[in-house]
Each structure stands twice: as C-alpha cells, then as structure tokens.
Structure 1
Amino acid sequence: MALRLLALHGFGQNAEVFIQKRAKELIRKLKGTAVLHAIDAPHPLPYDANLRGWWLYGSDLWDGKAETIQALADTLLQRPSFRPEGLQESLSLVLTEWEKGYDGILGFSQGAILGAALCAELQRKGLPPPRCAVLISGFGKPVPEGVIFPSRPLPIPSLHIWGAEDDHIPAWASEALATRFEAAKTHAHGGQHFVPQKAADLNVVVDFLKSSLDPPAASPKPEKAAATKAGLPVSTRAPLPGLEELKNALSAYPPVKSCGQVHPPAAQPAETAAAVESTSYLPEELAPPGTGTYERLKALLGAASAEFSELGPHPPCRTSEDSVQVRLAGGWSDVTLHSGAKAMLLRTAAGTWLHTVLPADCKLSWKKVRALHGKGTRMATEEEVAAVTGCLPGAVPPLAAFPEKVMTVVDNTLPETINFNCGLRTRSMQMTRKMFESVQDLVFADIID
C-alpha cells in the first residue's frame, strides 16, 4: 500500500497551488509509492488572502509586500532566531491533522521547518513518530522561537533536499536542519528555490520513500514527554526582562576598567596594547572566536586618540532590541534603537566582503546594494562572519578591526551619537559620529529602504 504523506506547502502558497503546480511532477513520479494530502496554512498573506503562511512576521522584519520577501529572507539569515506570529496555531492544526492517520511528512520551505517541528513535538509528547520525512528547501537556522528540538537528533528517517543555486534559503541553512535528524540523507539539485522537477532528482525521493514501505527495523522507542523536557532548547530567546531585572543582572558582571571617557595617547601604542592585555575576560568571551577583534578595535581607537565610552561586561546582547535595554540599564543616555550602529557582513557578486553599517531601526535595501555590487550579493553565513570579522553574529562592530580585508559602507542617516557592540556581545561602546568618521576611511551611501 502506498504511503500517505501530509504535505505542508511553502510561504506564499496554498494546498491547491502546491499540489497542482509546485509538486505536480513529484506527484506523478510517486504514483504507487506515496500519496500527498496537502492542507492550507491558517494565515492569509497581507498582499493576497488566497496565499498562506504557517506563520507571519512582525513589521520590524517585513512590510507585508510580495516584492520584499527576498529581503525578509536575507534579514532572517543573519539572526539565530526570530519571533514567528501564529506558529503555535499552525502547530496545533497539523497535530490535529496528523491524528487522522499519516505515514510521513513532506514539507517545502516554511512547511519543511514546520514538518521538523511536528516531528519534535510528536517525540516530546511521547507519540509514535512518522515513518519518514522529506524536507525540501527547509532551514535549521534561524530557528523560530517556540520550536524546541531535543538535545539528540530525532530518530526519524529523513531526506533533505535543496537547490544548489537557491538564493532564498542557502545550502548551509538546509544542512543545519538535516543535523536535527539521525543519519539524515541529503541531496542537492541543480536549481533554485523550488521542488525539483528533473527525473534524476525525483528518483532520489522515490527511492527514499520506497525504503519506508519495507517493514521498519527495530529502532529506539521515542522518548517519553517527561524525559524530553530535559532536552535543551535550541536558539530560543526568553522575553526581554525589565530594566530592574537587567540592573540586577549587570551587578553580577565585574566592571570594565576602561569604562567612561578614554583618551589613549596616540604616540604610545605599546601602552594601549598593554592595557588590552590586562583586561579581565569572562569565560564566555574567551570562547571561539575569542577576543581578537575587541582587542584590535581598542588598539585602533588608541592609535587614533579616539574618545569613546565603554560599558561591560554586561549580559550578552544578540539583537539590537536587547542592546537598547541593557545599555539603558547600565546607565547610558542617548540610547535608542536608531542610535544603534548595526553592522552586517555581505558577500558581493565579485567575491569580496562588504561591511555595511546602518541605524538599527532601518532595513538594508537589497535593491540598492545589489545595484552597486551585483545581483549575486548575499548575506554572509554565520561561519563566514566568524572567519572574516572574528566575531559572533550580533557582535560585529561598525569599525573594521577584522582579520580579513573588507570594504565598509555606511548609510548616510547614521545619527550624531552611535552605540554598538565592540567585537563581543558582552561589551558596548558609544561615540559621536564625528569621532567614528575620524578613525577609518569610510564610504557613505544610501543603502536603506
């Protein structure tokens, strides 16, 4: 008997579009092996109520227009997690649908990550897992808040497929999702962000599903709900605490010696280096990629006799919103989301590195950037950010004190006072824009929407 698969369509599609258009060739190829049953996601899209999403995005991430979906994807890829609107409603919907009796899951794009979340939720509840999962163009980074994977890979046979030329969800993001599954099978087709259409690629799916038709070998029983509660959540973020809670948290961190206005003597770089060497670091700051960029930045500012204020160590800031709360709790004024100097690393079509700086409440205009640096310009991966800048994502400073050469482009709207993480998520700096411009050669341009 053919497998019955629950099909979860992608963002901006619906069940009818997915079955009749996106997966048409796959369905033909699966005849006799599997039958797809697709359901509609519950959330209509702002620009077309006939098209659906398993979750939507806040106005801080997306303006609700079809033409900015690519920019949305590029923005999400620089984050470890994000807040999906309506995810729990969708998860409840597919859990109820799953009770109707399915053998496996087939998901595309947003539907693929929802399919993976369903697998994790079934295990958490101690329910029988799917016999198989086919996840096409899914992403394991960033992880939607509310999706909690167990600490160990899911013991579910899975096939993960992506397009080698996909500029919407790159291969590394799909590979990250595959790591959530035990002994996952992977396959890259030669196309972009779509369900593969060529026979050779479709045969990979057919062969995988045929293996699920055979009587399953004995496998570990799914963990019971009580046991899985001990699993560590992955890349989820608790709600931001209030200012009083942050002030209490700050008191647990030793004050940095150079906090306040600093005037290092330009003629004595050796003293500047010695001051950096004497800095007391937290264990988390010494973890890879380490403190190198922070130290190079301090030396750079010392050589330029730059005036700045420094705060830290403080609770780690992964987002611009976190940083505002922590800096206000630390006693700084002139701190708003707009005053945050957000740094983003891009890879240009020519293969060079572009270090962009813009106010934290603004969105990078991919249309403008790609008009200047080529259509293939993209967001750097987390691994590339660490290798090029020596920082974790979220810690990249607006001044290029990096181990690799980059070109720095600053948006014209940067305010008169700027705040930023300075190579570490646990330390912040504040300086005037005039001082910032005096430290390095910068290129100014209109790069925001």
Structure 2
Amino acid sequence: MGSEGNNTYKKLRFLCLHGFRTSGEILKKQLVTKWPESVLEKLDLVFVDAPFPCKGKSEVEGIFDPPYYEWFQFNKEFTEYENFDECLAYIEECMLKHGPFDGLLGFSQGAILSAALPGLQDNGVALKRVSKLNALIIIGGAKFRNQSVAEKAYSSSIQCPSVHFLGESDFLKQYGVELLDSFAQPLEIHHPKGHTIPRFDEEGLKSMLSFLERMQEVAGMEKK
C-alpha cells in the first residue's frame, strides 16, 4: 500500500468532489493525466458524482462527455443556495458508504464545499456521523458568501491541514487568496494556468509530496 522505500505508510484516502456541472469521471481523468505517479501513489482517491443532474449548459461540453452533475444551485451573487442541506447530507452518506476517509479533495464548486466542511463539521452543521476531517486538497477554491453558511464555516480559524492550488489566471484566484485567511496553516501552490487542474512544476511537486508525507505520518501515528 505504501510508496517505494516508504512502505510503513498507507495511502491517504480522499473523497473527491468535482466541479460545477462536471462529474467524478471527468475529475478522475484530469487528475490521472496531469498528476505524476509520485503524487498519485500516495493517494487512494474515491470519485463520486454530485447528487443533482446538470440543470443548464456545462462549461466542459464538447471537451468531456456527459452526463454532468452539480452539488447545489446558486444565484448570480453566490449568496443564495438551493438544495444545500441535501448536498451536505449526500456527502456524508458518500463518506459513510465509501470511507473512512482521511480528507477531501475538491475542485471549483467541490473545492468551495471541501474548504467549508471542516468548520461546518466542528459546528455540528455537517458530517456529524463521520470522523473528523484531517486533510484538504483545495483546487480553485473560494468562500461561501451566504452569511449564515459563512458564519458556521469560517467563524474560527480552520485547523485542518490544507494545500491550496492558486492559478495566476484563474477567475477565482482573488477569492482563493481570501480563503487562505480562514486557515491556520495553509500551504499554497501557485501555477500559471487558469481555472483547471494544474500540472506541477518542480517546486510545487516538492511542496505537495512534503505535505502528503506529513499527512501520512500523522495518519500512521493515529492508527497506533
């Protein structure tokens, strides 16, 4: 289960939450084709589809095949949400069914959810029946703007170890930077691309491997 030369550590199990109007299969394809084996061999990734079929045009139409899904619906200002509670309940059911998990990996809408869930869990709003989240991988994330959700998600500094991918030309970059303020010790990995799953440069890869090895050590100690 462990990587070459480091057999004592098991792979870290992450539930992967895809972007708006895409799918688990699409996120899987993007990660597997862009991330090197040195990262993937440390991860046990579980991909699920969001609970609601796509209710409008998908940005990936013509690039990736349907079906497409969305986690919840929202207004233009991203301040009002539909089916949000149902979404949280669905994620918990996925964790109960496929877990236990060490953490969450999220992209775009999935990243916004993943980054909020430790705070929502600590405040008893979500994930009440699963173990505490121990790690987050946030790609193209942002904060919820609904005051009620935000107060519960970011009211205190999020202690959950996290790595945040920030794209220089990502339309969400400024919101991803704002999100960092809610975390106690966020690790930043910058890349030159836009709102996408990035490839690693040498420095980013080194940072990512160091983060994962640290999380493996913690997970190993907790199992003892």
Normalised TM-score (structure 1): 0.40
**Distance (whole Å) between structure 2 residues aligned to residue 164 and residue 143 of structure 1:** 26
| 8 Å contact kept, 1:107–1:113 | yes
For structure 1, the residue ranges without an aligned partner over 5 or more in a row are 62-75, 219-449
Q: Percent identity?
A: 24
The residue number in structure 2 matching 1:120 is 119
Residues of 2 paired with 1:39 and 1:214: CA distance? 27
Q: How far did residue 51 of structure 1 move? A: 1.0
Does residue 102 (structure 1) correspond to residue 101 (structure 2)? The answer is yes
Q: Is the 8 A contact 1:132 1:209 kept in 2?
A: no
Distance 1:47 1:155 in 2: 37
Instruction: Find the counterpart in structure 2 of residue 343 from structure 1.
Output: none
Q: Which amino acid aligns with 1:153?
A: S
* Counterpart selection for 2:211 from 191, 208, 211: 208
Shift of 1:108: 0.7
SS at match of 2:82: coil
Of 24, 27, 32, the match for 2:33? 24
The superposition leaves residues 99-150 of structure 1 with CA deviations (integer Å, 9 ceiling, x where unpaired) of 3210111111110111122212221237642221111110126357545225
Report what 1:15 is aligned to: 24
1:37: Cα distance to partner?
0.7
Q: Which residue of 2 aligns with 1:173?
A: 175
Correspondence for 1:47: 57
Alpha carbons of structure 1 residues 154 and 22: separation in structure 2 relative to 1, 3 Å: same
CA distance in 2, matches of 1:145, 1:54: 18
* Equivalent residue runs for 1:11-410 within 5 Å: 11-26=20-35, 28-45=37-54, 46-47=56-57, 50-58=67-75, 61=76, 76=77, 82-99=79-96, 100-125=99-124, 128-140=131-143, 142-143=145-146, 146-147=149-150, 148-166=152-170, 168-169=171-172, 171-200=173-202, 201-215=204-218
Q: What are the Cα deviations for residues 367-393 of structure 1, in whole angstroms up to 9, with x where unaligned?
A: xxxxxxxxxxxxxxxxxxxxxxxxxxx
Structure 1 window deviating more from structure 2 (209-218 vs 35-44): it is 209-218
Asked if the contact 1:129/1:156 (under 8 Å) is kept, the reply is no
Change (3 A) 1:143 1:137: farther
Partner amino acid, structure 2, of 1:187: I
Give the counterpart letter for 2:116 in structure 1: A
- Please tell me whether Structure 1 or Structure 2 has the larger radius of gyration of its CA atoms: 1
Count of aligned pairs between the two proteins:
196
CA–CA distance in structure 2, aligned partners of residues 186 and 43 of structure 1 = 31
CA 97–107 in structure 1, closer or farther in 2 if over 3 Å, else same: same
Contact in 2 for aligned 1:137/1:161 (Cα 8 Å): yes
Q: Which moved more, 1:121-130 or 1:98-107?
A: 121-130
| Matched position secondary structure for 1:129 | coil
5+ long unaligned stretches in structure 2: 1-9, 59-65
Computed over aligned residues only, the root mean square deviation of the Cα atoms, in angstroms, reads 2.5
Greater relative contact order, per chain length (Cα 8 Å cut-off, separation 6+): 2
Q: 1:13-53, CA deviations, whole angstroms, 9 ceiling, x for partnerless residues?
A: 10001101355322634233112111101122223671111
Asked whether the equivalents of residues 82 and 145 of structure 1 are also in contact (C-alpha less than 8 Å), the reply is no
8 Å Cα contact 1:141/1:173 also seen in 2: no
